[in-house]
Every structure is written in structure tokens, then in C-alpha cells.
Structure 1
Amino acid sequence: MLDSLQFGVMLAESGLLDEAVREVMMRPQLMMIAESSPGIQSAMKSQVSKWKNQIRAQLGQVTIEEKFAEEIALYQLSIELDSTEFVKRLDDILIQLSVCSAFFGKASELAAHPHHRYSPMFQSYFCNQWFESIAAELKQAQSDEVKQHKQALLTDLYQRVDTLNAMPEMTESGDANKLGRLWDMAAAKLSKTEVNLLQQFAAFLKGQKGLQKIAEQLGRMADQVSDPNSSKAPVEELELVEEQLDQVTDDIVGIHEGNDLSKLLPNETMFLAYPELEVIFYKHLVDHQLMNYHMQGKQRKLRKVKTHKKAAEQAMLDKGPFILAIDSSGSMEGFPEKCAKALAYGLMQIALAEERDCYVVMFSTELITYELTKKDGLREVLNFLSYSFHGGTDMPSALERAIEQMLDDKYKNADLVVLSDFIAPAPPAALTQKIEQLKAEKNRFHALNLSSYGNPELMQIFDHLWDYTRSPIQRLFKR
């Protein structure tokens, strides 16, 4: 006996979904973008697989629609009747079928011949035909639903392709195997104005070679940090060595006295040929004075050695996330604002390519935060790039927020980059102390100065300081 759920499950496994997935993945435009990057291909397959599982669960519920539930309940009742009762109730069944089933026309035709009704096989044949009708209707309903959802999936996939095509500088940079996160972010639908905005800052960054160099250096610095908590003691490891051993019979290197019968020289056996000399042979055997071949060979074995080198190699930390603290005060308006936004955009590209998180704190008299590399991060990027700088400067609050992030497990081993004109007072002593503690744990503090009037005392708290102004000579400092 089949109920509505069994009908649904049976048809959900009928191959409709597999065929829909094959059709989607064979679309030329989608095949091209998938083949362009292993990371994108993997992310796309994961998305389609999740879609398939979701729709499979929904297909099993198609039968809860009233018309299917009512007809299947009537079908179940009919197959449980004995043949006599079925014939008696056939006219009532036909009336109900006229309301809820596409099988009514065929059913009426089968019941039109009176002698058919009283055949012993009539009920079985009638119900088999009815079952096939229900199955066909359910399959069509599920097929229609799959087509509807498949179109929605295609719309989403093509949308992501369009978004990626609008950001060629993102797909061309970094490791092609690690662009899966960019595919997830590309779900955001971009307007023409937003595409122009991204392209504008990409072009500005491309024209500022100094900013590009700074971004690249920031990306590389994390490779040079070792784990402060790693042991400095020598590390024991196994090493393969060769030893000369007499027990290894590789070569004959001479003759010596011994009692090894397997290495006995042939002339020693002459003593055994004469009974009167046999006792001499046994005496030489007991005294280890038989002439033996001297065999020798090399044997490889593992032994433990101590080394410092391996300990240092294993102590290198994985690259941590970026935390960008960006001065959005009114004094940053103009060229400094463009530089800050362009560098943030460049660092986001590096973060995506290296699978690092990127968190932004914009500060003036208030704080605004964005997580640029999360799933909807592209929308946050656009919000950030379109934001107008204004207000005063409250750098201590921004540094406090950045420190809070660094204390979170997700943001350990972070690179904090402060982009500002540094026209602000020096931070309080308590804040400076927190920064020094984080430095000791190998968090890195960087700064990009975008003004000739920055406060030197404020800039002293950073490990690395770059000076980048409108001046034709762009200076690079490293403390």
C-alpha cells in the first residue's frame, strides 16, 4: 500500500533532478567560468549540490497538495476493498474521481461495459491503470516544479557570472584554486553604477604603483612570522644511516679464524676425510680456529638525531586576517580618501586570494564596521566605497575596536592596518600598553600615513609605517 509520501519519494528519485543538474552544468557560459578556476568550479558544484538536496526534499512534499492527497486517499481505499464491495461502490468512486482526478475519463471508459465490472480481474486492472495515472500526474507536477526551480538556479548562476565579469581584476589575481569565496560573494546583483564604482577604484589602484607595492608587502609580511609559543628546544627526528656490519654478507673482504660452518673454506673439510685427523677439526671448531671467509656489507637503519632547524620550520604561523582601521573624517576628503578606499579594495583582493578574512573599521566621530570577505561581503564593499568621509577623528575608539577583534579566536595573528592622515593626538598610555601586549603575541600593527601633517608621536606605536602623499616622490619607511 502506497501513501502520498511514498509516491513523492519514489518520484523524487526518478532521475528528474539528475537530468536538471546535468543540463545546468552543461551550459556553455557556466562551463567556461568553471574551467577558468578550480576554486570557482568547486564552489559552483557545491552550490548546485545544495540546490539538488533542497529540491529533492521539496519534491517529496508535492503530494500534500489537496487534489493529490484526496485522490491518493481514494485510491488507497479502493485497493483495500474486496472485489464485490468494489463493484458496488464503483459509481460512487467515479463521482469522486470526476472532482479530483484526471483519471476520470479513462475510469468512465473502463466502467462503461457492464460485463467488465464483474470480471475477477477488473478491480486489479482498474487500480493498476489508476496508479499509472496518479504517477504520471505526480511526475508532471514534480517536473514543472523542477523546471521552475531550475530557472531560478540558472538566474542566480548567470548573475554570479555577470558579477565576476564586472571584476576581472579580482579573478585574475591570486591563486585560481582559492577563488571559491569570490563565487559566493558574487551572488550580489550589481547595478551599472556599482560596476562603474568598482572599476573606478580598480583603475585608480592600478595607476598607483606605490599603493600596489604596499599591499603586496602587507600580504607577504605574514609569511615571516614564527609562532612565539613554539618550543625552542631541539627537536628529535629519525634519520636514515648506513652501517658496516659483518653479519651482512654482501662481499668477501678476506679470511679469518672462526667457527662459522656456513663460511668455512673448502680445504678445512680435508680433516674430516681421515679418522685420525677428525679430532683436529673439532678442536679447531671449539677454539674458533677454523679458516672462514670474512664477509662484510652495509645495512640501513633509522636512528634519532636532534636538530633545531625543523623546530623553526614547523613554528611558522598561518597567515591571519586583515583588520583595516580607516580614517573617514572630513580631513581625509579628496586624494587621501581615494587612496584609503583603493588600498582597502586591494587588500580585500589579497584576502580573498589567500583565504584570509578582512574586517573594516571606519572611524570619524562614530564607528562603522564591515566584514568584507563574508558571503554578502561584496555588498559591504560597495557600501564602503560609496561612503562619503566627514566628521572629526576618534582614533582611540577605532584602535579599541580593532583590539577587541584581535582578542577573538577568529582574528588571532591579525594584520592591523590603519589608513589615516594621523592628524590626531597620541593614544592614552593604557591603549598603548594593550598594543604592546598584542605585538608580543605576534599581531602586526601597520600604518599608512596620507598627510604631511601627521602626529609623529601617534605614528610611533606602529611596527611598520608607510608615508604616501600627493608628492611625486612617494617615500617608504620601515621601522
Structure 2
Amino acid sequence: MLGIDALDIAVLLADAEMIEVALQDLMGRSQLLPLVEENKSVRSLVKSQLKRWKSKVSAKMDNLPHTQELKQELTLYQEVIHWTEAEFLMKVDGLIEQLQTCSEFYPEAQKIVTATNAKLNPMLPHYFCQQWYKSITSHVKKIQESQLEAEKKRELEQLRKRLENIKQMDQLAPDEDPGAIAGRMWDMTNVSLSKSDWSVMKSQADFLNKHPKLKEIAEQLGRMANQLDPNEPPSYSQGIQFDQEVSLQATDDIVGIHESDDLNKLLPNELLFLTYPELEVVFYKHLIDKRLMNYQMEGKAHSSKKVTAMEPVPAKAENDTGPFIICVDASGSMRGFPEQCVKAIAFALMQIALAENRDCYVVLFSTDYVTYQLTKQDGLREASDFLSYTFHGGTDLEPAITAAMKQMQGERYQHADLVILSDFIAPKQSKEMIKQVDALKQKNNRFHAISLSKYGNPELMHIFDHVWSYTPNLGQRFVKKK
């Protein structure tokens, strides 16, 4: 064989050291980004992100697509290294012509072959293939390095984007630690949002601050998932009960002397029988007859047994709470102040869902409905689109509730809190829907309503576990600016 057998050269693996150097370079650059220097939590998230990037980019480097020219060169190389020396010398001129169209090695190859007396040197075929192999590996490495540099640049830009989004979210919730916000929203910050997107969300945060009652309603809804149902009967659980009783086997106190065969509690004078051979038989006879003088002991023995005890059902842990499904009435009758209210409450519930790691699904309805999944990778974009939606059309509540209930029947949205924000100026639900609602309640789903009109249909409210009404008068709607 004339050269190195490069069987896998077409999928030449990137040097692990090269990727590690790229990772350390990214680590160093990321430490200089805003928030990373100041916040340990954010710094930890960035490190975790970059470690994931290393794994992803290693796989990508291993599977880089090759150009048609490189594929042609690799095929040619695999063929040539199996030639004999004589065959190489006979075909070398044709080989040089082929290299001219597909290889960076062509100028050097021509120089090697045309050197004085080169073809008379018996080592020419081996030397030629060795230099050719080096040229191929160098070329592949250049491709990988170029791709790696592009990946580094892309990742650094993504980090800047994430951190900028977290900084913007910090302005929406200034009382929270940026690290806590980053921890909850890291996967959602990998999107580009315009100034108008942030402006929309900032306006909702400001509106909530001016109307604390709306924020209070949202917080009550968030806490309800952790509260016990007062109508739920207590459950039975197995507990351990300890008892004490007097026992002669316990060795707490000496209470007297009695006859027995317990050598551990033997009186010292009984051992005198063993000092005289003629009396030793008397000792063993007393032992068999259980007539040896023993200390009589008494004490308290502890025993345990399982008993059935009545215990209250513990409240759900915070991380066991279910998701939110928010149905927002986007009909024309909700325009103006009610529209601002429902968007603000939905925005507050989205923040609560993020804080408690709960999914949040929004159904925006009028004569038709639109859905948004707010707690997913592009959730910030979905939230901005939802908050920018202009309300119009009529009120058709049933399709929206049907869409929400369909989500509840899936695995992801079990034990959900469904919140409907509407003026409830609509017909009563069908009997079939009421049956479906009752069935879902049996599976620990809860239904809440927030009414923003005095003229809502009271017959619509019977299906809900909790109902809030927010209809402030005109003077209460507007807060004077300082």
C-alpha cells in the first residue's frame, strides 16, 4: 500500500482539543457579558448552556457535509494508495490532471513529480501519497475550523440575545432577582423581540401596578392550586403507635430474689457449690430444677404496632400544581377597559406559571378562537402576539371551553386550572358541555371565572368553582399620574 489507509477520512472527526479550545474561548467571552459577571445564577446557566453547545457542535463537526470536489478527491486517493509502484509511475501524469480539477494538492503534486530525476526515485509513490494525505487532512481541518468559528459566533450572539431578554424581563418584574427570572425563562429567551414587543409587555406590567386588585385576583388563583378542598373527606393512612408495658425480661431495676435457671442473674453465693467437687452435682441439679437463686428484675418494655389513624390530606406541593388554561374573551363588547383588564390578568397568570414552572395555554375567542402556548421555547413571542391582538367579533363561549377541555384530556394538561375572562354576555352552555365539565372536575380539574361586566348571563356561572367580578366604576378605572 502506497499511503495511509484513510478508510474513514471522509468523516474525519474534529480534534477534541480544537473543540475544547473553542469552548474555553466562548466561556471567556461570555464572562464579560452583562449579568454574567454580576449574577452567579446566570453564570451557572451560561456554563450549562455552553456545555450543551459543546456536545451539539461535536456531533455537527463529525457530520460536516463535504463538497463534491472533496468527495472526488477522497475517492481518488482511496484508489491510488492501492496501486503498485510501477502502476503509480505509469499513471502519475493522468493522476496530476485529475487533481487539477478537485484538489488543493495539485500545485505541490506537480512540483513533486516534475522535480529532477523524481521518477527515478523508488520512494516517489510513497512520498507522494504521504504528502497528499497531509494535504487532505489539512483541508478538512480548515473546513472544520471555519465551521467551528461560525458556530462560536452564532452561539455568542444567542447568549447576548438571551441575556438582553432577561434584562428586559427584569424591568417587568424589578423586585425579582434576575437569576430567578433567568432560571425559569432560559429556554424561552432564545427569540428576537422588537422594541414594540417589549413595549406591549411593559404596558401590561404598568397596568397591573396601577390596578392592584387585578394582580390580587391572579395571585389568589395561583395560590388556590396549593389549598385543600374543604369538602374533601379525610383520608386514612397507616401510622406507628408505641406502647409501654411492665416486663420481667427488662433489666431496669432489681426488685427481689427468686428461684430460676438464669446464669446471667445468678447470686454469687450459688457459685460456692462449684468450688467443692462433692457439691458440684448439687449445683447442676438446682440448675435443671430451676432452683438456683436469681436476682428478680423488672422494667418497662417498649413495643410498636401499626394502627389506622385519621390524617388530613396534605396540600399539594408547589411543584405538583397543575397548568393554567386561560380563555380570554376577545369579542367587540370587551373593547376598551375590559380588554386591558383581561390582558393584564392573563399576563399576571403567565408570570405566576413561569414562577411555579407550570404550563400556560391561552385560548383567545370571539366567533372563532386562536390558541397560544405561552410556556414553550418561543413563548415570549406568543405572549407578545397575544397581548397585541385587537378584540373584535361576537362572543361564542362554547367552542373555546371545548378547546380548553380537549387540552385537559391530554397528559400535559391534567389537573389544570381553567380561567375564563369574559363579560359573559352569551347564551347558556349546552347540557352536553356541562356533563363534560362535571366529568373533568372529578379528575381534579378546576374551573374559574372572572367577570368584567354587570350584565353577564348568571346562568353561565353555575359550572365554575370560583367566580370573581371586577367592574370598577369610571372613577376607579383611571389612576392619576404623579
Shorter-chain TM-score above 0.5:
yes
Q: Which residue of 2 aligns with 1:198?
A: 201
- Residue 322 of structure 1 is aligned with which of 297, 320, 324? 324
Tell me if the contact between 1:188 and 1:379 (Cα under 8 Å) persists in the aligned partners: yes
Tell me if the contact between 1:7 and 1:63 (Cα under 8 Å) persists in the aligned partners: no
Q: 1:269 to 1:29 in 2, by over 3 A?
A: same
Give the Cα–Cα distance (whole angstroms) in 2 for the partners of residues 301 and 140 of structure 1: 77
Q: 1:93 to 1:293 in 2, by over 3 A?
A: farther
Give the Cα–Cα distance (whole angstroms) in 2 for the partners of residues 137 and 14 of structure 1: 17
Give the Cα–Cα distance (whole angstroms) in 2 for the partners of residues 271 and 186 of structure 1: 92
Which runs of structure 2 are paired with 1:129-144 in the superposition (5 Å)?
A: 129-144=131-146
Equivalent position amino acid for 1:184 in 2: D
Tell me if the contact between 1:39 and 1:178 (Cα under 8 Å) persists in the aligned partners: no
Equivalent position amino acid for 2:106 in 1: F
Q: Which residue of 1 aligns with 2:260?
A: 258
Q: Which residue of 2 aligns with 1:148?
A: 150
Runs of 5+ unmatched residues, structure 1: 475-479
Q: Which residue of 2 aligns with 1:284?
A: 286
Q: Which residue of 2 aligns with 1:107?
A: 109
Give the Cα–Cα distance (whole angstroms) in 1 for the partners of residues 181 and 298 of structure 2: 55
**Mapped pair 1:431 → 2:433:** yes
Residues 388-440 of structure 1: CA deviation (Å, up to 9, x unaligned)? 11222222333333333333332221111111222334334443343334334
**Overall identity of the aligned pairs, in %:** 43
- Residue 216 of structure 2 is aligned with which of 213, 217, 226? 213
Q: Which residue of 1 aligns with 2:393?
A: 391
Q: CA RMSD in A?
A: 3.7
Tell me if the contact between 1:330 and 1:391 (Cα under 8 Å) persists in the aligned partners: yes
Give the Cα–Cα distance (whole angstroms) in 1 for the partners of residues 196 and 105 of structure 2: 55
Q: Which residue of 2 aligns with 1:375?
A: 377
Give the Cα–Cα distance (whole angstroms) in 2 for the partners of residues 279 and 90 of structure 1: 115
Give the Cα–Cα distance (whole angstroms) in 2 for the partners of residues 240 and 32 of structure 1: 56
Q: 1:112 to 1:262 in 2, by over 3 A?
A: farther
TM-score, normalised relative to structure 2:
0.83
Which runs of structure 2 are paired with 1:35-434 in the superposition (5 Å)?
A: 36=39, 41-42=44-45, 48=50, 51-62=53-64, 64-114=66-116, 117-168=119-170, 169=172, 173=176, 180=183, 182-225=185-228, 234-237=236-239, 256-293=258-295, 303-309=305-311, 312-313=313-314, 318-434=320-436
Equivalent position amino acid for 1:470 in 2: P
Residues 257-280 of structure 1: CA deviation (Å, up to 9, x unaligned)? 322334433321211222342232
| Secondary structure of the corresponding residue to residue 367 of structure 2 | coil
Tell me if the contact between 1:8 and 1:61 (Cα under 8 Å) persists in the aligned partners: no
Q: Which residue of 2 aligns with 1:15?
A: 17
Give the Cα–Cα distance (whole angstroms) in 1 for the partners of residues 169 and 155 of structure 2: 22
Tell me if the contact between 1:325 and 1:419 (Cα under 8 Å) persists in the aligned partners: yes
Tell me if the contact between 2:329 and 2:395 (Cα under 8 Å) persists in the aligned partners: yes
Q: Alpha-carbon deviation of 1:331?
A: 1.9
Give the Cα–Cα distance (whole angstroms) in 2 for the partners of residues 78 and 242 of structure 1: 92
Give the Cα–Cα distance (whole angstroms) in 1 for the partners of residues 41 and 476 of structure 2: 41
Q: Alpha-carbon deviation of 1:245?
A: 6.9
Q: 1:233 to 1:189 in 2, by over 3 A?
A: closer
| Secondary structure of the corresponding residue to residue 11 of structure 1 | coil
Equivalent position amino acid for 2:80 in 1: S
Q: Alpha-carbon deviation of 1:199?
A: 0.8
TM-score, normalised relative to structure 1:
0.84
Give the Cα–Cα distance (whole angstroms) in 1 for the partners of residues 148 and 203 of structure 2: 41
The runs of 4+ residues in structure 1 deviating greater than 6 Å are: 1-5, 239-254, 295-302, 314-317
Equivalent position amino acid for 1:223 in 2: N
Which is further off, 296-305 or 460-469?
Answer: 296-305
| Secondary structure of the corresponding residue to residue 412 of structure 2 | helix
Give the Cα–Cα distance (whole angstroms) in 1 for the partners of residues 97 and 476 of structure 2: 92
Q: Alpha-carbon deviation of 1:381?
A: 1.4
Tell me if the contact between 1:268 and 1:291 (Cα under 8 Å) persists in the aligned partners: yes
Tell me if the contact between 1:265 and 1:293 (Cα under 8 Å) persists in the aligned partners: yes
Q: Alpha-carbon deviation of 1:31?
A: 8.0
Give the Cα–Cα distance (whole angstroms) in 1 for the partners of residues 336 and 59 of structure 2: 54
Q: Which residue of 1 aligns with 2:480?
A: none
Give the Cα–Cα distance (whole angstroms) in 2 for the partners of residues 315 and 439 of structure 1: 17
Q: 1:376 to 1:129 in 2, by over 3 A?
A: same
Which is further off, 328-337 or 94-103?
Answer: 94-103
Q: 1:81 to 1:298 in 2, by over 3 A?
A: farther
Tell me if the contact between 2:36 and 2:42 (Cα under 8 Å) persists in the aligned partners: no
Q: Alpha-carbon deviation of 1:371?
A: 1.9
Residues 104-127 of structure 1: CA deviation (Å, up to 9, x unaligned)? 343344445555544454433332
Tell me if the contact between 1:420 and 1:449 (Cα under 8 Å) persists in the aligned partners: yes
Equivalent position amino acid for 1:340 in 2: V
